[in-house]
Chain A
Amino acid sequence: DAGVTQSPTHLIKTRGQQVTLRCSPKSGHDTVSWYQQALGQGPQFIFQYYEEEERQRGNFPDRFSGHQFPNYSSELNVNALLLGDSALYLCASSLDREETQYFGPGTRLLVL
């Protein structure tokens, strides 16, 4: 049973650049949520996708956008990168309206 997978594992970008992170949900799951985890902090909710639509959004600027594909995989895009965007980006998948979310290994983004 394949768990949640994310790519790439690490990424280094410079300020002003754009980045795309990818996530494949656990087999059978249809909902994908994205979280940002800064060093020493708990994960912060960015947004959630279900049926290819953004269903919920946290307190993140419009520079953060996403997409969900028909096979339920998802992308997170961040434009005009800032130093403060450096963090671990976690993807979590779940079944619609079920509470338990399962996390992928994350993508560690460093913005220089």
Chain B
Amino acid sequence: EDKVVQSPLSLVVHEGDTVTLNCSYEVTNFRSLLWYKQEKKAPTFLFMLTSSGIEKKSGRLSSILDKKELSSILNITATQTGDSAIYLCAVDEGNTDKLIFGTGTRLQVFP
């Protein structure tokens, strides 16, 4: 059965810290891996990583896809309280176009 696993489940840091969120997957027909940030309700899109685009960066956020290890990491440097959210990792299953999500990592950043 296809699955996506995220770790850690929860993370508490202070402003200015750097964090690394992990995502591993076992998906039969991998097409891409996506990261979303969920603050209250709507997950907002952060990055999409594919075989042809294994590293993405936007400001303090960056993400890398390791297709050999079937995993991805999301890095956030110089964290701010506004980074507090649940970070969701999802894999697009190529045969069905459905997204298979992990349970998310809850990040709390304190001043």
Partners in one complex: yes
Chain A, interface size category, equals: 20 to 34
Q: A48–B101 Cα gap in the complex (Å)? A: 15
Q: Within 8 Å CB of B43, what residues of A?
A: 43, 90, 103
Q: A55–B31 Cα gap in the complex (Å)? A: 18
Nearest Cβ in chain B — how far from A91, in angstroms? Answer: 10
Give the number of chain B interface residues (Cβ < 8 Å): 24
B68 within 8 A of A: no
B-contacting residues, A2-58, CB 8 Å:
4, 31, 33, 35, 40-45, 48, 55-56, 58
Q: Of the candidates B31, B45, B92, which one forms a contact with A102 in the assembled complex, judged by CB atoms under 8 Å apart?
A: B45
B44 within 8 A of A: yes
Q: A43–B103 Cα gap in the complex (Å)? A: 8
Contact A56–B97 (Cβ < 8 Å): yes
Q: Could you list which residues of chain B lie within 8 angstroms of chain A, going by C-beta atoms? A: 4, 31-32, 34, 36, 41-45, 48, 50, 88, 90, 92, 96-104
13 contacts between A and B (CB under 8 A): A33-B99, A41-B103, A43-B43, A43-B101, A90-B43, A99-B31, A99-B32, A99-B34, A100-B34, A102-B45, A103-B42, A103-B45, A106-B42
